[in-house]
Amino acid sequence: MSDPAPPPVARRGGFASAQFILPGIVGIVFLVAWHFAVKISGSDIFPTPLQVWSGLGELAQQGLLLKYIVASLFRVSWGFGLAVLVGVPLGLVLGWFKPAFLALNPFIQILRPISPIAWIPVAILWFGVKDTAPVFLIFLASVFPSSTL
């Protein structure tokens, strides 16, 4: 008995180019469709891709783009970090101790399906329009991730 022949090696050149070219084409088609959708609608509310690019350039020239990026990363880091600090130990406790699971699971199952977007008014009422409200929303979205895969 001889070993079966190894499967043929896929050509990497064709695959690698398709891996970058096809998403590039889809991206270009999306940008063109976006541009024409805004132009055809005559909307003053929605910007074209060129106007978005121009706006990013203006923010960068004014020194605000980096400030806004850092502020967003701050909120995401704190929200996700707090979710990890709370969610991982809580998950371990619920997995190890059945009484804890039985006591807290109904509460978790009530909160879990509520979309983080639905929490926005509550977050604003509780925390105001400060960094705390988005950190809270990111925390909730990370502790109770959606399972729509």
- Residue-wise pLDDT for 62-91, tens only, equals 999 999 999 999 999 999 999 999 999 999
CA dihedral 42, 48, 51, 53 (to 10 degrees): 180
Pair 139, 79: CB distance under 8 Å: yes
**30: part of which helix (H) or strand (E)?**
helix 12-41
Q: Phi and psi dihedrals of 145, rounded to 5? A: -65, 150
**Beta-carbon contacts of residue 123 (< 8 Å; ≥ 6 apart):** 133, 134, 136, 137
Segment (H or E) for 6: none
Is the pLDDT at 8 greater than 70? The verdict is: no
Give the rounded percent of residues in the chain with a pLDDT score beyond 70.
87
The pLDDT, as a whole number, for residue 94 is 92
pLDDT-derived band at 148, boundaries 50, 70, 90: low
Q: Residue 1: its pLDDT value, please?
A: 59
The string of pLDDT tens digits covering residues 79-138 is 999 999 999 999 999 999 999 999 999 998 888 888 889 999 999 999 998 889 999 999
Name the nearest CA neighbour of 45 among 37, 57, 53: 37
Q: Which residue has the higher pLDDT, 149 or 47?
A: 47
pLDDT given for residue 84 in this prediction:
96
Sign for the CA dihedral angle at 93, 95, 96, 101 comes to positive
Would you state the pLDDT for residue 14?
59
- Model pLDDT, residue 135: 95
Task: Quickly count: other Cβ atoms within 10 Å of residue 50's Cβ.
Answer: 11
Axis-axis angle for helices 64-96, 98-111 (nearest 10): 140
